[in-house]
Amino acid sequence: SEYLLSKKDFMNKKVLVTAGPTIEKIDPVRFLSNRSSGRMGYELAIEFANRGADVTLISGPTNLEPPTTINKIVRIESAEELRQKVLEHFEDSDIIIMTAAVSDLRIKNYSEQKLKKDKIVNLEMEKNPDIIKELGKRKRDGQILVGFAAETENLKENAMKKLKEKNMDMIILNDVSRKDVGFEKEENEVTIFTSKEEHRLEKNHKRIIAGNICDVIFSTFF
Ligand code: CTP
Ligand code: CA
């Protein structure tokens, strides 16, 4: 509606959104990655921009069109690249939203030559840095850190644990065992937690969910 389009409640706010998967290269033809279309993050970035925010979108590889209303779009591939770009923009951001599906593992040694298939069974891997956890440690007063949790069981318990351990201000829980919402789907259904509150958003198109998430962020922190 016209009312929604003219609602500039995030005017003068700087918002950093990460979206999409990361990919960790193994050799010139193979990589390790996570499921993520990037859609939820793109919709959030678009919604914040519509509401007047100065948005930076840091995106892993996706098939999505770059939103025309966002002029700061940064492309990354690996988690380490994502980390560098996030740290570059972090200080300057009021709200940081990590929707990116960060690959938990990376390959210890990238091979310039294509590996023969019998050599890739026992690849050495290591954990990627936890980017949002690092942000949680550096966060200053007034900065709002929002994370996502992709869970299949013990949903609330796991989400609350992440909220606390990563020093987030808000976490958005996705039940990724569901077939009708989430990955590669147009619709989503999420529950938002702060340390004190819980908001269940009913199933809806990701664009509407993005609007609902912005509303909850606004009413909680501003
Ligand atoms: N995240 C991150 N850096 C990582 C892994 C995750 O910043 N290396 C962020 C994600 O962007 C998300 C939140 O942490 O906002 C939770 O991601 P999730 O994969 O659910 O949590 P993990 O801590 O990786 O735990 P696990 O995958 O074991 O459940
Ligand atoms: Ca993970």
Domains detected in the chain: 2-110+122-221 (3.40.50.10300)
- Which residues are catalytically annotated? 34
Atom of ligand 1 nearest to the CA of 171: 15
151 CA from centroid of ligand 2 (Å): 9
CA distance 158 to 122: 30
Q: What is the pLDDT of residue 26?
A: 96
pLDDT confidence band for 119 (50 / 70 / 90): confident
Q: pTM of the full predicted structure? A: 0.96
Q: Is the CB of 82 under 6 A from ligand 1?
A: no
pLDDT confidence band for 2 (50 / 70 / 90): low
Q: Give me the sign of the Cα torsion angle 206, 207, 208, 211.
A: positive
What secondary structure does DSSP assign to the chain, as a single string?
-HHHHH--TTTT-EEEEEESB-EEEEETTEEEE----SHHHHHHHHHHHHTT-EEEEEE-S-SSPPPTT--EEEE--SHHHHHHHHHHHHTT-SEEEE--B--SEEESS--SSPPPGGGSTT--EEEPP-HHHHHHHH--TT-EEEEEEEESSSHHHHHHHHHHHTT-SEEEEEETT-SSSSTT-SEE-EEEE-SS-EEEPPSEEHHHHHHHHHHHHHHHH-
Ligand 1 binding pocket mutation candidate from 85, 95, 128, 130 (most atoms within 8 A of CB): 130
> What's the mean pLDDT when you consider all of the chain?
95
* β-bridge partners, 127: 105
The ipTM estimated for the assembled molecules is 0.99
